[in-house]
Structure 1
């Protein structure tokens, strides 16, 4: 997640450099007939690029709104995961004896689940942080799971059933814990839905083509019939605005791609890690993840 109000120029340029080079090539090519065949050149009415520019603005606005909705939904889901993770441990402490070893086991599993869910959504190794949090026996069980976060939730539900069978939980307590597990499972499913629902690629290609057409038509209008040394920078700056907004929307539409615009699932998981360890009485806590650059992951 980008946390600084001003983006580095290098990052902005890296995001749109290919598109800017295409715009530069378009401007230079469209200026050839103007320079060498000006007596045969018929200028295009300025209303054409104006109308196209308005249409592009509307399309970009729509795409930015839709992309931000996806990003914000992902952020709200992880906010719910924070709350439900804390709730699970608080419920275990409230419903069972304080010296019950299962509280610490399930607390560590919940920490592991948060890290693993974030890594799975980003296409990273889901087992990376599990060795210190889950027993070797349970790790072996998870090796056969295609969906590791779901496997951890399965272990959690088995533990709840075990506590109930031993008499450590009454029926009401078990129902409350089951509701919390249900919410965690639903949050995982919502994240997977966002991850697996592809934003239509034809929409982006059409918008890109419209921006290039806008540059072509604008370069051939009378107001832009300037010296090439003035026209090129003007058109590059105008197109840069459209291109960067379109690229920003493109990045926001996929909040789990291990990019600076991601939902900060690693940072959120570390916060959950710290909170849960505090709840079970530990004092040796991991440090919060801080932004080392203009973004936090």
Structure 2
């Protein structure tokens, strides 16, 4: 995720890091070159290009803008829901960590096991959402027996939650927790399970492909036809005008595609590494470690 202050007026036109322009530059150049070619052909054979009314292009442009706006709103809602789910993950994990510390004490081996499993859960969910093998990063936090169980689990984040639930059940059987305390733990575990299900829903249910295809095709058709409608009236500035329109339409289309998958590792993906590191620092502190990893910060305006 890009994290930076709003640039000044002049710097606004030269910002590269975080801009969508590099991703749509080939399309912009294509439209600009086509426009330049049409300007040259128009100078040579003006009779081929009767002056057309731009009102029809204006109506199509307005309709296309509405479609793009609707799609961007829908994609941003997905992005924001993903951030809300990971915020809920932090809240519930901190609640489990706090209750474990209050009831078992900092030196308790069972409290330390809870803290390690919470870090493993967050890292495992992050890697699963990004289609990365989570096992190498889990070996630091889980025992060999626990890693062996996860290797064979269909849903690894849920299996870690099950391990925590089994730990709570042992506490109840041995008299460490009463039924009320166990119910509080179970409520947090259920909330974390809902977070996992919500993240899976966003990952496995993209926006309808037919809708994306309709907007994408319409954007190309409109930008490819626009130079033919402007060349007779706009002349030499046609490439500039069409490039600006192409930047707006193709840029919005590309941005919506990035926001549609909020857990990706691109510039506009959610900072899952930073959120996981935040929880890891708190769990390491709960484990009694003195030297903690550095707090998450943006590098080159990018918070991953």
Fold equivalence (TM over 0.5)? yes
Q: Which deviates further from its counterpart, 110-119 or 284-293?
A: 284-293
Is contact 1:48–1:217 with CA below 8 Å preserved after alignment? no
Is contact 2:36–2:238 with CA below 8 Å preserved after alignment? no
CA distance in 2, matches of 1:158, 1:9: 46
Deviation at 1:30, TM superposition (A): 4.8
Residue 182 of structure 1: aligned partner:
190
Is contact 1:27–1:215 with CA below 8 Å preserved after alignment? no
Alignment TM-score, normalising by the size of structure 2: 0.89
Structural mapping, 1:93-112, within 5 Å: 93-112=101-120
Residue 3 of structure 1: aligned partner:
3
CA distance in 2, matches of 1:55, 1:192: 33
| Unmatched 5+ stretches in structure 1 | none
CA distance in 2, matches of 1:204, 1:171: 51
CA distance in 2, matches of 1:184, 1:39: 68
Give yes or no for the alignment of 1:143 onto 2:155: no
Judged with a 3 Å threshold, the aligned counterparts in structure 2 of structure 1 residues 9 and 289 are, in CA distance, closer, same or farther, namely closer
Give yes or no for the alignment of 1:295 onto 2:286: no
Give yes or no for the alignment of 1:161 onto 2:161: no
CA distance in 2, matches of 1:10, 1:171: 51
Deviation at 1:32, TM superposition (A): 6.6
Alignment TM-score, normalising by the size of structure 1: 0.91
1:229-271 CA-partner distances (Å, limit 9, x unpaired):
x221221122212211221111111111221111111100100
CA distance in 1, matches of 2:174, 2:267: 47
Give yes or no for the alignment of 1:264 onto 2:240: no
CA distance in 2, matches of 1:178, 1:211: 50
- Equivalent in 51, 55, 77 of residue 43 of structure 1: 51
Give yes or no for the alignment of 1:121 onto 2:129: yes
Give yes or no for the alignment of 1:250 onto 2:257: yes
1:194-252 CA-partner distances (Å, limit 9, x unpaired):
01112223323322222233334432335763444x22122112221221122111111
Is contact 1:2–1:295 with CA below 8 Å preserved after alignment? yes
| Unmatched 5+ stretches in structure 2 | 8-14
